[in-house]
């Protein structure tokens, strides 16, 4: 039986990444548990230290319930090396489409994400390979791909 899980992203500014990834993934801000005005109030009630609390929303979820919850955990240090895990945003429409059309759709999504604060790092394409992707970074430098 599959287990339920969430993805945790360490970051300096949870509300900033919540807004970016909410819009990038078409997720929604995860509401605090019933009876609590905010996640910080809830975390305080269970003893989480103040230095581990942010100021604002810190998690997002798939409104359809299919994808994992993503929690943006505040940490004091900035990102210092390449991610060992990254998101792939599937924008191409799939292998049933011609490569030229998939490329257009990837570029459209990459442009949308740049408008939201992402940084384009490089194009991942090779002559003769039926694949096209764009490597990007979110506003805190976490790498991800659009393919």
User: Domains of the chain: which residue ranges?
Assistant: 6-74, 87-146
pLDDT tier at 137, thresholds 50, 70, 90: very high
| Cβ-contact 54, 43 below 8 angstroms | no
> Does residue 30 sit in helix, strand or coil?
coil
Q: What is the pLDDT of residues 54-98, one digit of tens each?
A: 778 899 999 999 999 999 988 888 888 888 889 999 999 999 999
- Max distance between CA atoms of the chain, in angstroms, equals 57
Q: What is the pLDDT of residues 23-45, one digit of tens each?
A: 999 999 999 999 999 888 998 99
pTM (two decimals): 0.89
87-146 has which fold? 2,3-Dihydroxybiphenyl 1,2-Dioxygenase; domain 1 (3.10.180)
């Amino acid at each position: 039986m599959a287990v339920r899980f969430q993805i945790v992203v360490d970051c300096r500014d949870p509300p900033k990444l919540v807004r970016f990834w909410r819009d990038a993934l078409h997720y929604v801000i995860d509401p605090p548990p019933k009876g609590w005005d905010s996640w910080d109030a809830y975390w305080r009630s269970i003893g989480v230290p103040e230095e581990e609390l942010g100021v604002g929303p810190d998690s997002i979820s798939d409104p359809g319930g299919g994808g994992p919850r993503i929690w943006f955990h505040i940490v004091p240090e900035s990102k210092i090396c390449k991610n060992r895990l990254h998101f792939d945003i599937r924008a191409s429409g799939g292998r049933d489409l011609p490569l030229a059309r998939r490329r257009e759709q990837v570029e459209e999504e990459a442009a949308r994400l740049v408008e939201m604060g992402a940084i384009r790092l490089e194009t991942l394409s090779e002559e003769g390979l039926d694949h096209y992707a764009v490597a990007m970074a979110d506003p805190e430098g976490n790498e991800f791909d659009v393919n």
